[in-house]
Structure 1
Amino acid sequence: MREALRGLTVRGRAFVAAGATAVLCAVVLGQPALTRVGVLVAVLPLLAALVVGRGRYRLTLERTVTPATVTVGESARVDLVLTNAGRTPTGVMLMEDQVPHALGSRPRFLLEGIGHGWRRHVTYPLRPGVRGRYAVGPMDVRVGDPFGLVEIGRSFRSAATLTVVPPVVPLPPVPLGGATSGSGEDRPRPSASGSAEDVTVRDYRRGDDLRRVHWRSSARTGELMVRREEQPWQPRASVVVDNRLRAHRGQGAASSLEVAVAAAASVVAHLTRRGYTVRLVSADGPLGPDAPASSPGRDRGADPTAALEALAVLVPTQRPRLDESWLTDTTRGGIVVAVLAGTEITDAPALRRLRHHAGTALALPVDLAPWGDAPTRTTPTRALLATQGWRWAELTPSEPLARTWARLGRPGGALADRPLAGATAPGPGPGAGR
C-alpha cells in the first residue's frame, strides 16, 4: 500500500488536494453537499492505490535476440512474448525495454485490457553502429489504474546479450609465405637412418599416456619413446592488433583503433578461410581462452567467430609496450601480421623480436593523418618497419582494405611503393624492401 501511495500520479495527487480543499471549504461555508463531493474526490485515488497495490500480477516475459551475433551495420530482431498467468486483470501498462544507446532508441509499448490468459507477441529492431557486447533488457513495466491516478513500477530481471563484431572485408588471395611452418605431428620431416618405426615415434613428453610407449624403440635408444599422433598439419599465423591508447587517435567509432580492429578482423577471417591456424594477440597478450582463433587439426574454412567476438570487446589499454611473452619456440615460424598505429622508438625491440620469430612478417600501419597528426608523426613507424625487414602497406581512408592487402602481398612488399626519406634501407632478407 505504501508503494501504491508513493506511485500516485500528478492527477492522483491533484484529486487528493482538490478533495481536501473541497472538504475544508464545505466546513467553513457550511455546505454538507460539498463535503460529500470532496470526500469522494479525495478517496478515489486512495481506493485506486488500494486496488493496484493489492493486485497479484503474474506477468511472464520471454525474450529472444535473433541473431545473437551481428556485424556492425547489420540489424537484429528482438522478440518479446508477454503473458498474464494471473487471474487479476490489469489496467493500462506502459512497458519500456532497456536498450543501450549504441543500439538505438528504447522501445515503448502501451497495453490495455490485460486479462487472464492474455498473451502478446511484440517485435522491434536493433541497429548497432558500434562493436561491443550489449545487454538488451531488463524490461520496465508501469501498471496503472483506468483513471490514471496511480502508477506502480515493476521490472523483469531477464536480459539477453547481443554481440556486435567488427565488419569483415573479403581480401584477395595473395602469396604470403610461411607455408613451411605449421602445427601437428605429421608435418614433413627428414627420415633418420634405421627402420621405418623410427619415423613414427618421438620422445616421451610429460603427460603422455604410457600405453603409447613404443618399448622396442625405447630399448634401442635408451630413452622413452612414444608413438606419434597423426594430426593434420596446418600453417600457422599470428595476427597482432595494437590497442594501446597512446598509439591511437580519436574517440568512439571514429577512431584509429576502430580502423585497426576492422582490419584485424578481416585478416583473421581471410587467413582462417585459407586454412591457417590463427592466433589473435593484442598489446596485452593473446585474446580468448588459449587465444587461437582456430585450433590445430580443424578443417579448412574454420569459423573465426571466436576471434571476431574477442575483437568485439577489445578496449584500449594503458600498456606502454607491446606484449612479447607469448613468443616461444612453439610460435616460431609462420606468418605474423601486425596491425599497428603510432609506434615509437621504444617499440623497436618488440618489432625486432616479432620479426625474428616470424617466417614472414607483414605490417598494416594505420595512417594517423586524418586524426590531425602531422605526416612526420608517422615516419617513425615506417622507418622502424623498414629497418627491421617488415613488409608493410599503410592503411589510409582513400584506399580500400582489399587493395592495401593486395599491395602488401606483392613481391618485395610495399616498401618499394613508398620510399622513405632519411630511412636506411635494410639489407637483403626475407620480406625486405628495396
Structure 2
Amino acid sequence: MREALAGLTVRGRAFLAAGVTAIVCAIVLDQSTLSRVGVLLLALPLITVAVLSRNRYRLTLVRTVTPQLVAAGQPARVSLTLANDGIAPNGVLLLEDQVPYVLGTRPRFVAEGIGQGWRHSVTYQVRSDVRGRFEIGPMSVRIGDPFGLVELGRTFRTTVPLTVTPRTVALPQIPLGGAWTGSGDNRPRAFATGSAEDVTVREYRRGDDLRRVHWRSSARVGELMVRREEQPWQSRATLFLDNRVTAHRGQGIASSLEAAVSAAASIAVHLTRRGFAVRLVTATGEEPGSAWHLRGADLNAGPLLEALAVVQPVHQARLETGWLAEGAHGGLTVAVFGGVEPVDLPVLRRMQHHAASAMAVAVDVDAWVGAAPGAAATRLLGQQGWRAVALHPRDRLDAVWQELAHTSTHVSRGTARGAEREVV
C-alpha cells in the first residue's frame, strides 16, 4: 500500500488535493453537493491505489539478441517477449529497455489490455560504431491504471550480452613464410628409434574407428592404439598487437589504436581462413581464450575477434616477453605496432629470433594526429630483421598488406616514402 501511494502520479496527487479542497469548501460553505464531488475526487485515486496494491501480477520476459557477435557498424536485432502469468489484469504497461548509449536510444513501448494469459512480442534494432562488449537490459516496467493516477515501477534483472567486433577488411593472398609448423597429431615424429609402426600409431580416442586399431602395438603398450592418418602439418601464427598508451595517439574511434585493432582483426580473419591456428598476444602477454589449442581446425576467427573487441589501452612502459619462452622457435609472427622506441629493440629482436618469419604493420601514429608522416618505426623494425610497412590514415589496409609481400627486411615502404620526401 505504501509503495502504491508513493507511485501516485501528478494527476493522482492533483485529484487528492482537489478532493480535500472540495470537502473543506463544502464544510465551510455548507454545500452538500460539493462535498459529494470532493469525496469522489478523493476516493478515486485511493481506490486505484488499493486495487493496484492488491494485484499480484506475474510478468515474465524473454530477451534474445541475434546475432550476439556483430561487426562494428552492423545492426543486431533484439526480440522481447513479455507475458502475464498472473490471474488479475495489470492495466497499462510502460516498457523501457536499458541500452548503452553507444547502441542507440532506449526503446520505449506501451502495452494495453493486459489480462490473464496475455502475451506480447516486439523487436528493435541496435547498432554501434564502437567495438566492445555491451549488456542489453534490464528492462524497467511501469504499471499504470487506465486513468493515469498511479504508476508502479518494476525492473527485470536479466541482461543479454552483445559483442561488437572491430571492422575488418578482406586481405589479398600473399606469400607467408614460416607457415608449416607441426604440432600435436599433425607433427611427424622422428624415426631415430623404433620401427615405422611405433611412430605411426597413437592412443585410442573416443569416436575413433575400430578398424584403425593396431593390435600389435596395443598388445605391447597395454592399451588401445590406432594408426595415424596422414594429415598436413598444422600452420601456426602469432598475432601481436601493441596496445600500450605510449605507442598510440588520438582519442576514441579516430585514434591510431583503433586503426591498429581493426588491422589486427582483418589479419586474424585472413590467417584463420588460410588454415592457420592463430593466437593473440598483446603488450601484456597472451590473451586468455585465444590459445592455439582452443582454435582447433574449425577455421573460426570468432574467439579472436571477441578478444580484440575488448582490448583496451594499457599503461605499460615495456612489452611483456613471457609468452616468448612458452613455445618453441618457428612459425609465423605478424605484428601490428604503433610507435616504436629504442627501448623496445631488444624485445623486437627476440620476437624476430623466435619466429621463422616476422612481418609487421606499423601504424604511423604521428600522421594520425596531423603531424608529418614518419618512417622511424618501419626503419627500426627493418633493422631488426622484420618485413615492415607503414599504415597511414588514408591508406587502404588491403593495399598495404599486398605491398608487404614485396618488402625486404631492410627497406620498408615508410622508409622509401621518407627518402622521397627528403629529395623533394
TM-score class normalised by the smaller sequence:
0.7 to 0.9
Q: Provide the alpha-carbon RMSD of the alignment.
A: 3.0
The one-letter code matched in structure 1 to 2:127 is R
Q: Do 1:385 and 1:392's aligned partners in 2 also have CA atoms closer than 8 Å?
A: yes
- Which of 403, 416, 421 is 2:399 aligned to? 403
Structure 2, unpaired ranges of 5+:
203-214, 420-424
Q: Do 1:278 and 1:293's aligned partners in 2 also have CA atoms closer than 8 Å?
A: no
Q: Do 2:180 and 2:234's aligned partners in 1 also have CA atoms closer than 8 Å?
A: no
Residue 124 of structure 2 corresponds to 124
- Once the two structures are superposed, the pairs formed by residues 54-133 of structure 1 within 5 Å of their partners are 54-133=54-133
Report the Cα offset of residue 185 of structure 1.
Answer: 5.2
User: Counterparts of 1:28 and 1:356 in 2: how far apart (Å)?
Assistant: 99
The one-letter code matched in structure 1 to 2:339 is G
- Once the two structures are superposed, the pairs formed by residues 321-340 of structure 1 within 5 Å of their partners are 321-328=318-325, 330-340=327-337
Report the Cα offset of residue 290 of structure 1.
Answer: 5.6
Report the Cα offset of residue 79 of structure 1.
Answer: 1.1
The one-letter code matched in structure 2 to 1:308 is L
Report the Cα offset of residue 411 of structure 1.
Answer: 5.1
- Once the two structures are superposed, the pairs formed by residues 264-275 of structure 1 within 5 Å of their partners are 264-275=264-275
- Which of 363, 366, 390 is 2:363 aligned to? 366
User: Counterparts of 2:52 and 2:219 in 1: how far apart (Å)?
Assistant: 85
Residue 316 of structure 1 corresponds to 313
Q: Do 2:360 and 2:387's aligned partners in 1 also have CA atoms closer than 8 Å?
A: yes
Q: Do 1:9 and 1:151's aligned partners in 2 also have CA atoms closer than 8 Å?
A: yes
Shift in CA distance, 201/51, structure 1 to aligned 2, threshold 3 Å: closer
Q: Do 1:278 and 1:294's aligned partners in 2 also have CA atoms closer than 8 Å?
A: no
Shift in CA distance, 83/104, structure 1 to aligned 2, threshold 3 Å: same
User: Counterparts of 2:201 and 2:252 in 1: how far apart (Å)?
Assistant: 54
Report the Cα offset of residue 95 of structure 1.
Answer: 0.3
- Identity score, percent: 54
Structure 1 stretch displaced more, 122-131 or 35-44: 35-44
Report the Cα offset of residue 138 of structure 1.
Answer: 1.2
TM-score (norm 1): 0.85
User: Counterparts of 2:272 and 2:78 in 1: how far apart (Å)?
Assistant: 31
- Once the two structures are superposed, the pairs formed by residues 213-292 of structure 1 within 5 Å of their partners are 232-289=232-289, 291-292=291-292
Report the Cα offset of residue 386 of structure 1.
Answer: 2.2
User: Counterparts of 1:160 and 1:373 in 2: how far apart (Å)?
Assistant: 40
Residue 394 of structure 1 corresponds to 390
Shift in CA distance, 216/92, structure 1 to aligned 2, threshold 3 Å: closer
Within the alignment, does 1:381 sit opposite 2:373 as a pair?
Answer: no
Within the alignment, does 1:16 sit opposite 2:20 as a pair?
Answer: no
User: Counterparts of 2:17 and 2:62 in 1: how far apart (Å)?
Assistant: 41
The one-letter code matched in structure 2 to 1:140 is S
- Once the two structures are superposed, the pairs formed by residues 288-299 of structure 1 within 5 Å of their partners are 288-289=288-289, 291-292=291-292, 295=295, 298=297
Q: Do 2:181 and 2:330's aligned partners in 1 also have CA atoms closer than 8 Å?
A: yes
Number of residue pairs aligned between Structure 1 and Structure 2: 404
Q: Do 2:388 and 2:412's aligned partners in 1 also have CA atoms closer than 8 Å?
A: no
Shift in CA distance, 162/44, structure 1 to aligned 2, threshold 3 Å: same
User: Counterparts of 1:421 and 1:143 in 2: how far apart (Å)?
Assistant: 66
TM-score (norm 2): 0.86
Structure 1 stretch displaced more, 245-254 or 319-328: 245-254
The one-letter code matched in structure 1 to 2:309 is A
Residue 426 of structure 1 corresponds to none
Q: Do 2:379 and 2:411's aligned partners in 1 also have CA atoms closer than 8 Å?
A: no
Residue 26 of structure 1 corresponds to 26
Shift in CA distance, 342/419, structure 1 to aligned 2, threshold 3 Å: closer
- Once the two structures are superposed, the pairs formed by residues 146-157 of structure 1 within 5 Å of their partners are 146-157=146-157
Instruction: Spell out, residue by residue over 1:265-302, the C-alpha distance to the aligned partner (whole angstroms, 9 max, x if none).
Output: 11111111111121111111111336238545x26xx1
User: Counterparts of 1:109 and 1:68 in 2: how far apart (Å)?
Assistant: 23
Shift in CA distance, 50/411, structure 1 to aligned 2, threshold 3 Å: same
Within the alignment, does 1:419 sit opposite 2:418 as a pair?
Answer: no
Residue 209 of structure 1 corresponds to none
The one-letter code matched in structure 1 to 2:347 is A
User: Counterparts of 1:186 and 1:305 in 2: how far apart (Å)?
Assistant: 23
